[in-house]
Amino acid sequence: MKLLRFGERGAERPGLLDAEGRLRDLSGILDDITPAALTPRALDRLRALDPSSLPLVPGLPRIGAPLSGIGKFLCVGLNYADHARETGKEPPAEPVLFSKAISAVCGPNDDVEIPRGSDRTDWEVELGIVIGSRAKYVSEAEAMAHVAGYVLVNDVSERRFQSERGGQWIKGKSHDTFGPIGPWIATRDEIPDPQALDLWLDVDGTRRQTGNTRTMIFPVAHLVHYISQFMTLEPGDIIATGTPPGVGLGMTPPTFLREGQVVTLGIPGLGEQRQRMVQA
């Protein structure tokens, strides 16, 4: 299934895409797509529905983030060796973990704000893991059973805030709109091999990032296992798994986003995003 939310910000309604890619309204079945809707039992109930029995959504409504009530927005840094090297760092021996503020979450096609005082706002296309059942001290062999599905993420970053303003990376990762998610959550059965997904990102129509999840240093199952050793993962938690090379920081000279530019990105099976840069 492909689950999503549509409507104006703060008033989104739940929906799903049918086999023909048409948006169907789930609001007669669910109040919203929340962590409770992503548990194995809840997903089984949704799979039992006949999509043709659900109302078609007319027009082209705004698409919101496909999940409300996210508990944790965790991220993995430097998870592609060639990206680590382009930022001047060696590939890590263990996953590098940080988080984004939940207030950074926005819809996949919403405008992205360049923070006040920013001159190094950057892009990062990533595969996101969506947790569907509680995971604490799970083995790598058990890890995938705790995954509800996957989502496209742009881990927008302000590099000066991230690296030169002291403390941890969260300051450079958490400005409002720095977490576009969606357009939909593809349930685990839709993505049989999360380590065989192409990723791409363009800025103003020029390709900047091209990669494949097979080159991740730490694959999806290992990340879920590893993180669960340090904290309990709950339904609705999101893990952004890192970005391939091609970020602005790694260009010669480094190149960053400006007001009016448009970023587009995608992963097959997880849809595409389009964001216009605006000044905060």
Q: Which domain holds residue 169?
A: 68-279
Is residue 42 included in any domain, yes or no? Answer: no
Q: Where are the beta strands (DSSP E) in the chain?
A: 2-6, 13-17, 23-25, 63-64, 73-77, 96-99, 105-106, 112-114, 121-122, 125-131, 147-154, 157-158, 179-180, 185-187, 198-203, 206-212, 238-240, 262-267, 271-279
Q: Would 104 be classed as within a structural domain?
A: yes
Whether 164 is in a domain gets the answer: yes
For the chain, give the number of residues: 280
Asked whether residue 46 is assigned to any structural domain, the reply reads no
The 3-state DSSP composition of the chain as helix, strand, coil percent (nearest 5) reads 20, 30, 45
- The CATH number that applies at residue 235 is 3.90.850.10
Q: What's the pLDDT at 164?
A: 85
User: Is 31 within the bounds of a domain?
Assistant: no
Report CA 213 to chain centroid distance, whole Å: 14
Q: So what's the pLDDT on residue 50?
A: 95
93-122, pLDDT tens digit by residue? 999 999 999 999 999 999 999 999 999 999
Tens-digit pLDDT profile for residues 187-201: 999 999 999 999 999
In a domain, 52, yes or no: no
In tens, the pLDDT along 112-163 reads: 999 999 999 999 999 999 999 999 999 999 999 999 999 999 999 999 999 8
Q: Is residue 131 part of a domain?
A: yes
pLDDT at 66 over 80: yes
Instruction: Give the containing element (helix H, strand E) for 225.
Output: helix 220-227
Question: Do the domain assignments include residue 41?
Answer: no
Give strand pairing partners of 157: 122
When divided into structural domains, the chain yields a total of 1
pLDDT at residue 88 in the model: 78
Question: DSSP H helical segments within 87-210, as ranges?
Answer: 140-143, 159-164, 170-173
